Amino acid sequence: MIEQQPCTNRRIVILGFMACGKTTVGRALARHLEADFLDLDSQITKNEGRSPAEVIAADGEAAFREIETLALRDVLQNRHASVIALGGGTWTIPANRTLIALHDCLTVWLDVPFELCWQRISDSKNTIRPLAPDYQTAHARYESRRPIYALAEQHVSAGAGASVESILEQILKQP
């Protein structure tokens, strides 16, 4: 049984690499806290009428990052969602980190080994990932993002043997 600490009144932002489990953990955390959950990539899809992958493929990553920052700003100003799962690259943009800090959100990095992320990326045949077209590109992106992810307030190790419940326990036990 997961014990809930009087955790925080702050919204919780889940970040990490592609396929690390941000949405799964975010949904479970929101259920546990009886709070609203929002997945930023889903919000972008709703706003744009196309997925982040489609935006990146058609307009490029730079255009997507602008759309992403605007969506993040809207989500943070709305205050409806208490738990927010970011896209894999959202946190890497300094302006996005500033926005999140200005809204006093608790940031939680789901640190999952690259091999597990890559296995999940490879297994999800229906999900297009233009920023991870092959192993080498994805691995280089993963390594370049790790120091930026490490700027999050909480660091949660979530390897292959970690259950969602054990990840929630790690998040909730930290001050």
- Asked if residue 52 is part of any domain, the answer here is yes
Please provide residue 22's backbone torsions phi and psi, each rounded to the nearest 5 degrees. Answer: -55, -45
| Spatial separation of the C-alpha atoms in residues 3 and 21, rounded to whole Å | 21
> What is the predicted pLDDT for the residue at 175?
62
| Spatial separation of the C-alpha atoms in residues 133 and 139, rounded to whole Å | 10
How high is the mean pLDDT of the chain? 91
- Asked if residue 6 is part of any domain, the answer here is no
| Domains of the chain: total | 1
* Distance set, CA 152 to CA 39, 63, 114 (Å): 18, 25, 18
**DSSP track, 2-21:** PPPP---SS-EEEE-STTSS
- Asked if residue 3 is part of any domain, the answer here is no
pLDDT tens for 116-136 read 999 999 887 667 788 888 999
pLDDT tens for 71-89 read 999 999 987 789 999 999 9
- Asked if residue 46 is part of any domain, the answer here is yes
The domain that contains 45 carries what CATH number?
3.40.50.300
pLDDT tens for 105-119 read 999 999 999 999 999
- Determine if the pTM surpasses 0.75: yes
- Asked if residue 4 is part of any domain, the answer here is no
Which residues have CB under 8 Å from 17's CB, separation 6+?
A: 88, 112, 114, 117, 141, 142, 145, 149
* Distance set, CA 84 to CA 25, 54, 76 (Å): 10, 22, 9
- Asked if residue 130 is part of any domain, the answer here is yes
- Asked if residue 145 is part of any domain, the answer here is yes
Q: Residue 1: pLDDT band by 50, 70, 90 thresholds?
A: very low
Domain that holds residue 169: 12-173
- Asked if residue 7 is part of any domain, the answer here is no
